[in-house]
Amino acid sequence: MSVSPKIAKQHLIIFTRYPQPGKTKTRLIPALGAEGAANLQRQMTEHTLSKVKKFQESTGISFEIRFADGNLQLMQNWLGTEFNYRLQGEGDLGKRMENSFLNAFEGGAQQVAIVGIDCPGLNNQVLTEAFQKIQNSDLILGPAVDGGYYLIALKRAIGELFINIDWGTAKVLQQTVDIAQQLNLSVAYLRTLADVDRPEDLPIWYNSYQ
């Protein structure tokens, strides 16, 4: 989508969507309305990006923004032209993550993590721990309270981890761990954090600013 800057050995990928009303954070529309849900998507993306920029300044990692909906011009108008943007591409969430890992490793990265934007607790400490732990493990997972994960990190592309997963359900983390065990992968975990996906999760977001 844009000229790709050099990928560092440690690379972080942010998954987000262009905040188009009615297409993002749809589970929050009953509570916030389509515009409100899109605004929350916008705020949470900006919040996550600010955390990642601070992390980059202290570590020298590279990072990219993988987006769905919208286009490169809209993303640059929103967040600025200095970032590396790429479309998430086709397929379910698993296929899009698998391809993102593949692209990063093909680009020269040796340790790659993917994060979403709906986890207010993501910070320098968590990201530092993820890249430290991946040195000695095959797979790093940041468990989410809802049964999913907010971060996944690998040292090589392992496509099996993204197949036959019930995305968006409480089974995601356990299904991923089960596959990892079948593949004899060593797994390390980060602290459990809460995602903001449903109306009852909104206090997590608001409290993060208290």
Cβ contact 122:151 at 8 Å: yes
CA proximity to 98, closest of 154, 162, 144, 45: 162
Q: What is the pLDDT of residue 176?
A: 98
Cβ contact 161:171 at 8 Å: no
Please tell me what DSSP assigns to residue 144.
B
The residues facing 187 across adjacent strands are 139
Please tell me what DSSP assigns to residue 5.
P
68-90 exposure pattern, b = at least 16 Cβ within 10 A, e = fewer: bbbeeeebeeebeeebbbbebee
CB hemisphere CA count around 193 (13 angstroms)? 24
Structure pTM? 0.95
Q: What is the pLDDT of residue 108?
A: 96
Classified as helix, coil or strand, 78 is: helix
Q: What is the pLDDT of residue 167?
A: 96
- pLDDT tens profile 152-193: 999 999 999 999 999 999 999 999 999 999 999 999 999 999
Does the pLDDT value for residue 9 go beyond 80? yes
Distance of alpha carbon 94 from alpha carbon 97, whole angstroms: 5
Q: What is the pLDDT of residue 189?
A: 98
Distance of alpha carbon 28 from alpha carbon 142, whole angstroms: 23
Hey, what are 63's tokens? Answer: 């990072």
